A and B are shown apart, each in its own frame.
Chain A
Amino acid sequence: MHIPDGYLSPSTCAVLYVGAGLGWYGALRRIRRTLTTRMVPLISVFAAFSFVLMMFNLPLPGGTTGHALGVTIAVIVIGPAGSIMAISIAIAIQALFFGDGGITTLGANCVNMAIVGSLVAYVAYRMISSGAAITSRRRLIAAAAAGYLATNAAAFIAAVEFGIQPLLFRNAGGVPLYAPYSLGVAIPAMMIGHLAIAGVAEGAIATGLVAFLQGADPALLHSTSGLAPDSSAAYSSTSLRSLRKLWISVALLLLLTPLGVLTAGKAWGEWNASEYSAAAGRARIAASSQNQPAPSETPTGLQRLSSLWTAPIADYAPQIVKSPALGYLLSGMFGVGLVMSLCFAMQSLLLRRRGGPGQAA
């Protein structure tokens, strides 16, 4: 899943570098506070461990072998902030020293695997294991699920990054300048391998390691357990609420969404019914489809369906907002806010149902 140089356009790389930078900034600030002086040796050794773990050939059910990322166990032992740094460092060394993964795409790889991977693994692990005792079986299931989900989330984001390249970056002759496969090809191509193999590998190694630690050294599982603070906890805990800074980073990433507006015209395929009837609209459609002439009338199917659902925020621009960029931004924020609220609502529902001693944020 390490994206080499040349697959993503410079502007995509730049945006993702900014996103990664925000993630690193937030993570560093957090670990400086909780781990203080211990940070340097702990993160370094964990990064080295992840690196070596990535090289293990893991035998999987069905006779295949796969490679794990190591992000799940990093999240479980040193928390999401530590994991973001450790995995990013491992990725950086792989790219710089071993030529695995690009330098311009370092930001993208870190966003996909280290940041999104860590956050998804953390939320999934905490939600599924909340309240469970350190040595319970539920934690094993949580680890497996967290690993599986995190790997596939990272793969999905990578696939999206690939898939939008030919849409946004083509030269005049219609040649895709970077990754040449559209979303329709990129997403299935990436996801199949990860749903079937890589995700399973990560889940398997996460579960295996948690099982090992439950027996050999349970103190290491305390800091992300969500249980009441224990004097035997190895590192100080991270509550979900205190991930505020990381959520802020996500929010700041959203501020970059207006970049989408910068691409001239509409994304390919996203025309609405009215554009087909006007001559100017048709000309635009033709221009972006390699001069295949647009149909002279709105396709009937499109006509029918388009009246079915009038989005409350049509064209991403709430009526009251004049500037398209601001409208885009607000809609994006609203969208993410909606997803986040859903996540937190689900989590509190799960907690309330379980009851239990866990005092997760």
Chain B
Amino acid sequence: MTAVSSIFEVQSASFEYEGIPALRGLSLTIDRGQSIALVGANGSGKSTLLRLLNALCFPSGGTVSFCGDPLTAEKFRTVSCEISFRRRVALVFQNPDVQLFNPTVFDEVAFGPLQMGWSTADVVTRVDETLQLMGITHLRDRAPYRLSGGEKKRVALASVIVLDPEVLLLDEPTSMLDPRSQSQLIDLIQQWKGSSKTVVTATHQLEIVEDIADRVFVLEQGSVAASGSAREILSDADLLLRANLVHAHRHTHGAMTHSHPHLHSHDEHKH
């Protein structure tokens, strides 16, 4: 039962960057159609995990499996295997400048389909459709250095959803966005949540977690510290403090001074 519905299975994965461990024996399972949030402070291993899930690097220990098949370097030497995987699993990087390396928005969105070998006509049709979907048709011939932060993120998103992937991996999607763009993005993620897509969002912004995720994994120093529903995790103040996701500060109400972990959530906080 689990083998059929689980789309990602990570078992005791370890990974190092130049000798510094980024992931230590991390294990988790993601089911098809779920909307997941990976929360953790910077350096907890969120980005690394996303890259492993996108087969951009491979674990030094343990396994990462997609639909039951382990992702290995050898497997990705074959063109057909790589192309079919990359069509189904897409990653949106935290820094959009890294993802916008083509001269115009149109070329950027067309890059993926072109590399997959689609015909010119198909590429042009699909790209125009996608631009319309994301509301950026007016940016078609614009160069990336002329885009605002929000526009860049939308183009980055467009450049991956043009391939209609089954899985969307988002690395800090709301960072560097103004409030309006943020809420537009959250709307988009909620749309995907409703459809059959699997969405994995890495974020340290707790206030959006409830809106975008059914299930939350808390990462701490390269492994999973806790998992549960959004509500469960967000109400566990001690956990959040330990994982460096919230801060505690003192404030005064009239004559009273108290300190408590401070989380800007939808609920009122207790005094």
CB within 8 Å of B: which A143-157 residues = none
Q: Is B178 in the interface zone, CB < 8 Å from A?
A: no
Q: Is A215 in the interface zone, CB < 8 Å from B?
A: no
A232 close to B101 (CB less than 8 A): no
A41 close to B18 (CB less than 8 A): no
Residues of A within 8 A of B18 (CB): 219, 232
A337 to B: closest C-beta gap in Å = 43
Docked Cα-Cα span, A219 to B18, in Å, equals 10
Docked Cα-Cα span, A232 to B19, in Å, equals 10
Residues of A within 8 A of B101 (CB): 41
The size bracket of the interface on B is: under 10
The size bracket of the interface on A is: under 10
Report whether over half of chain A's contact residues are helix, strand or loop; otherwise say mixed.
Answer: helix
Q: Chain A, 219-259, contact with B by CB distance < 8 Å: what is the 0/1 string?
A: 10000000000001000000000000000000000000000
Q: Chain B, 1-40, contact with A by CB distance < 8 Å: what is the 0/1 string?
A: 0000000000000000010000000000000000000000
Residues of B within 8 A of A219 (CB): 18
A37 to B: closest C-beta gap in Å = 11
Q: Chain B, 218-257, contact with A by CB distance < 8 Å: what is the 0/1 string?
A: 0000000000000000000000000000000000000000
Nearest-CB residue, chain B, relative to A41: B101
Docked Cα-Cα span, A232 to B101, in Å, equals 27
Docked Cα-Cα span, A41 to B101, in Å, equals 9
Docked Cα-Cα span, A41 to B111, in Å, equals 15
A94 to B: closest C-beta gap in Å = 17
Nearest-CB residue, chain A, relative to B98: A41
A232 to B: closest C-beta gap in Å = 7
Q: Chain A, 40-54, contact with B by CB distance < 8 Å: what is the 0/1 string?
A: 010000000000000
Residues of B within 8 A of A41 (CB): 101
Docked Cα-Cα span, A41 to B98, in Å, equals 10
Docked Cα-Cα span, A232 to B17, in Å, equals 11
Docked Cα-Cα span, A201 to B18, in Å, equals 34
B223 to A: closest C-beta gap in Å = 26
Residues of B within 8 A of A232 (CB): 18
B55 to A: closest C-beta gap in Å = 15
Docked Cα-Cα span, A346 to B101, in Å, equals 45
CB within 8 Å of B: which A314-350 residues = none
B131 to A: closest C-beta gap in Å = 25
Nearest-CB residue, chain A, relative to B19: A232
Q: Chain B, 86-105, contact with A by CB distance < 8 Å: what is the 0/1 string?
A: 00000000000000010000
CB within 8 Å of A: which B96-139 residues = 101
Q: Chain A, 58-100, contact with B by CB distance < 8 Å: what is the 0/1 string?
A: 0000000000000000000000000000000000000000000
A166 to B: closest C-beta gap in Å = 42
CB within 8 Å of A: which B149-165 residues = none
Docked Cα-Cα span, A119 to B114, in Å, equals 37
B100 to A: closest C-beta gap in Å = 13
Docked Cα-Cα span, A22 to B2, in Å, equals 59
B115 to A: closest C-beta gap in Å = 12
Docked Cα-Cα span, A271 to B101, in Å, equals 59
CB within 8 Å of B: which A9-61 residues = 41
Q: Chain A, 183-224, contact with B by CB distance < 8 Å: what is the 0/1 string?
A: 000000000000000000000000000000000000100000
B206 to A: closest C-beta gap in Å = 34
Docked Cα-Cα span, A232 to B18, in Å, equals 8
Docked Cα-Cα span, A56 to B101, in Å, equals 24
B106 to A: closest C-beta gap in Å = 19
Docked Cα-Cα span, A234 to B101, in Å, equals 22
Nearest-CB residue, chain A, relative to B101: A41
A170 to B: closest C-beta gap in Å = 44
Nearest-CB residue, chain B, relative to A40: B101
Nearest-CB residue, chain A, relative to B18: A232
A305 to B: closest C-beta gap in Å = 62
Docked Cα-Cα span, A41 to B18, in Å, equals 21
Docked Cα-Cα span, A232 to B16, in Å, equals 13
Q: List 3 A-B contacts (CB under 8 A).
A: A41-B101, A219-B18, A232-B18
Kindly list the 3 A-B residue pairs having the minimum CB-CB distance in the complex, ordered from nearest: A232-B18, A41-B101, A219-B18
